[in-house]
Amino acid sequence: LATWAADTLSDSEDEAERVVADMVRQFVHLDQPGIIDGRAFNAWVVANAVHNTPKNGVDLLTFHAAKGREWDCVVVAGAETGLLPHGSASTNDQRKEEIRLAYVAFTRAAQQLFITYADKRNNRNAGKSPLLDGMPLSANTEANQQLPRFAARPSNQPNLLDDLTTWRRHTGRTTNQEPFQVCTDEVLAQLVASQPASVDDLAVIFGPLTAKRVAPALLAIIDKHRAA
């Protein structure tokens, strides 16, 4: 799969084929356990809807269902005594499984993790889960330090993601493609996070052929926001 994706992104002029190859490239770079084959790739595409993910939305999942997936921001609700670990976990093995599931949930966040709990629930005392003992209340991350700057930005001033989304939409119109065929939402997120500064940087995301084609427009957009 990896070889086919690399060859297709380098040589193919078929846009639909390149869209599939780009998704394959994303899949094989996840370094997931198990067999990497067409069946596993198809299951990943269906589970993550990577071919047409809505820009805005919330996924509501159990800890079990979150395994193997990742989001920029994750909110774990109800992390309190009696729920995490669940009160029904009475044996050591059951408690270990609850701890394992909590670890799965807490590590689904790529950038931000919010954990909430109630002091009282349904007229009973609750409080913070013992699994949270020793965890910091907040992290002094670069993203948190930049929040005031983002909050101060005028609401009518487009951010980088807005401009990249507009570029994708206009490119799709001029090439008679759907926006997701130009590039996926995940690729837009990569562009925002890494802010490529050269054709070579773009090639890491798009492959060399597409990078040369999109570089003039994309680098101009990114440079404008980098200078702001």
Instruction: Output the domain CATH number for residue 171.
Output: 1.10.150
Residue 160 falls within a domain, yes or no?
yes
Is residue 132 domain-shared with residue 181, that is, in the same domain? no
Is residue 132 domain-shared with residue 160, that is, in the same domain? no
Is residue 128 domain-shared with residue 76, that is, in the same domain? yes
pLDDT recorded at residue 112: 86
Q: Strand 109-115 and strand 71-76: pairing?
A: parallel
Integer angstrom CA distances of residue 179 from 5, 166, 220: 20, 10, 20
pLDDT tens digits for 93-150?
A: 888 888 888 888 888 888 888 888 888 877 788 888 888 887 766 655 444 554 444 4
Is residue 158 domain-shared with residue 210, that is, in the same domain? yes
Residue 174 falls within a domain, yes or no?
yes
Is residue 116 domain-shared with residue 180, that is, in the same domain? no
Residue 147 falls within a domain, yes or no?
no
> Where is average pLDDT lowest: 58-62, 139-143, 223-227?
139-143
Residue 158 falls within a domain, yes or no?
yes
Is residue 129 domain-shared with residue 178, that is, in the same domain? no
Q: Which of 19, 21, 26 shows the shortest CA–CA distance to 5? A: 21
pLDDT tens digits for 19-34?
A: 888 888 888 777 666 6
> Where is average pLDDT lowest: 34-43, 87-96, 187-196?
34-43
Q: Record the pTM.
A: 0.39
Cis peptide before 85, with omega less than 30 degrees from 0? yes
Q: Which of 91, 115, 139 is the last residue of a domain?
A: 139
SS3 of the chain: helix, strand, coil, percent, to 5: 55, 10, 35
- Chain-wide mean pLDDT for the chain? 79
pLDDT tens digits for 207-221?
A: 888 889 899 999 999
| C-alpha span between 117 and 79 (Å, rounded) | 5
Residue 4 falls within a domain, yes or no?
yes
pLDDT tens digits for 74-94?
A: 999 888 888 888 888 889 888
Integer angstrom CA distances of residue 40 from 8, 11, 33: 20, 25, 11
Q: pLDDT-based confidence at 55, cuts 50/70/90?
A: low
Q: Residue 47: which domain range?
A: 1-51
Is residue 37 domain-shared with residue 92, that is, in the same domain? no
**Mean pLDDT throughout 186-197?**
89
Residue 135 falls within a domain, yes or no?
yes
Is residue 206 domain-shared with residue 161, that is, in the same domain? yes
Q: Which comes out higher in pLDDT, residue 113 or 42?
A: 113
- Residue 191: count other Cβ atoms within 10 Å of its Cβ: 24
pLDDT recorded at residue 113: 87
Residue 30: φ, ψ to 5°? -75, -20
Domain count, the chain: 3
Residue 35 falls within a domain, yes or no?
yes
202: CB partners within 8 A, 6+ apart:
196, 210, 211, 214, 215, 218, 219
Provide the percentage of residues in the chain whose pLDDT is more than 90: 9
pLDDT tens digits for 2-13?
A: 788 888 888 877
Residue 58 falls within a domain, yes or no?
no
Residue 42, pLDDT above cutoff 90? no
